[in-house]
Structure 1
Amino acid sequence: MTVLLAVLALLLGGGAAPASAEPNEGGTKKLRDALEAAAKGHLEAKAKLENSRRRQVELTNELKAVEVRLVGLNAQVGEVAAQSYRLGRLTTASALLNSASPEAFLQRAAELDVMGQRDARRLHEYQIAQATAAQAKLAIDVEVREQQKQVAALAKRKRDAEQALATVSSGASGGFSGSARSATPAKRNSDGSWPAESCSVNDPTTDGCITARTLHALRQAQAAGYKRYVKCYRPGGDGEHPKGRACDFSAATSTFKDETATGGDKAYGDSLANYFQKNADRLGVLYVIWYRQIWLPNTGWRAYSGSGSPAADHTNHVHLSMN
């Protein structure tokens, strides 16, 4: 009977993994909330900073174009002023006095009207160009202040993340090396920020749901060759899994093993962790945990210790959390 059950287990895929092999997000709810807030705040400030820098470039180019136009308009306005100085203002009275006949008078009056319209148009265009240049300069000053604000916000978010990690981290770590294929960028808002997403897409790894951005990251990783066992949605708990914003990628081929990865399994996890870190900005990665290290966009790789088990220390799987 025992032999028969063993055979059936093999035919059905080896049976369920031990409960202790199932991954967890590690740390306390307070730690996870703090890391999420710090990472999200960093990504939001970074998007605002980059958007402000793009806007400043646009305004600077606009200002340069207006200043070039002002040079030409300034020359035209100078001609009007010089002409007025030399000839004085041509009025209907002076045109009449200097006209030898009614026909000459009408011709001079028409010339007066044309000159007046031309000069008024030149002066109006000059005034508009001056106002546009002044507005562009003020707008550039606003963008500079916005950038200073966001740089300060980035520094604060980094401090927040480091303070949150203080209880579980001994400081900076080396991370993981290896070549990383560039992922296709996920969709962003027009201002560069990440759109809010709910757990509304079918999770291909479970019978649950995930966000569209999480699914995109999963598919991009698989397209890059990372096709070992993965599980995303997990009901219950207070982390990102029940929100559809996290996936666990096993270092082993077919399931989660209750053992620390070594050899080819360790190399696979190293490469995958490096892939997500290198493509974090393209995919919308919030943080990555692998082999007693955690990566956040505002701190880089940091040492990260769990309770000592392969699941808690993330030495048997790569954890991915998405924005």
Structure 2
Amino acid sequence: MAVASPADRRRGALRLLGTVLALVLAVSATPAQAAPKPTVEQLKKELAALQKESDALITDYYNGRIAHEKAAKAENAARAKLTAAQKVLDRESAELRSMAVTEYMNASSLPTLFLQTTPGTDDYLRRLAFAQHLVDEQAARLSGFAQVRDTHRRAQQEAAARARELGDQVEDLAARKARAEKLIEKIRDKIDQLHKAPGVRRSDGTWVPQLPGGPDHITPRMRLVRTLIQERFEVPFGIGCYRQIQDGGEHPLGRACDFMLSRGGAMPSAAEVQRGNEIAEWATKNAKRLAIMYVIYRQRIWHVRTGTWRPMSDRGGATANHYDHPHISVY
């Protein structure tokens, strides 16, 4: 049997290496399987679990509020005790200083009580009893001051402990609230994902127009967007959609709604401005899925084609410039 030469062995090793590399490249070139999209039933099941967790967090949040209120009352009580103890301490300190000054000025008064008296006589005993009375009074005052001082120190310690407890409660309460709000937002996003705009979408991203219908004279797409926003953001000042005036916009076509933040053309409050910001942000975030064409808010317009906001010219007034409402139009 012929023995392979070193050159033959090298060529064989190179061929084997080439085969291995080809296999590795073939495997890496195979497209990865995309994860299947969740079904409506799966999303509903996930929503139910999130809702249960959210309810538990909200319960925990309200329990924290109760504990916070108790801690606040305890701290107020401790502060009141400290204030009262401080007043007593100040008064006793002043009286003790006064007594010390008096004793210093009359330092020789006690010995003179016993001058020119004979031990054992009634006068001597009376003076002895009086001296003892002075000593006892001083001892009582010193003892009372010590008690006041200790009470004051305990009140200080209790007030400091309650303040720390209150601070911990506030931080814990804020953390619970943040967790609950984050989870609720997640639940709302899941609810939104259960809905898609009805109708036919073209290959270029636009949608085949729909006819309005129903007593509200709006299209099914606009009705879906209005319902989702109303459920999520409440919109307490009302929603205006269809109107007959032919102004060149989508309102007469049933493809636009105004989500009011105030009444009578008044500028909305800071809280309502924030509500409008949240509605506009939600609309731009869900525009492609819900067939939203553009959003107007606070003299700016956002279009799904560009995905950016641009300023608009001044049309005069809060309503005309959309400062008191976000406007949403669908395809």
Q: Give me the TM-score of the superposition, normalised by structure 1.
A: 0.42
Q: Which has the larger radius of gyration?
A: 2
- Select the structure with the greater relative contact order (CA < 8 A; seq sep ≥ 6): 1
Greater share of helix residues, 1 or 2?
2
TM-score (norm 2): 0.41
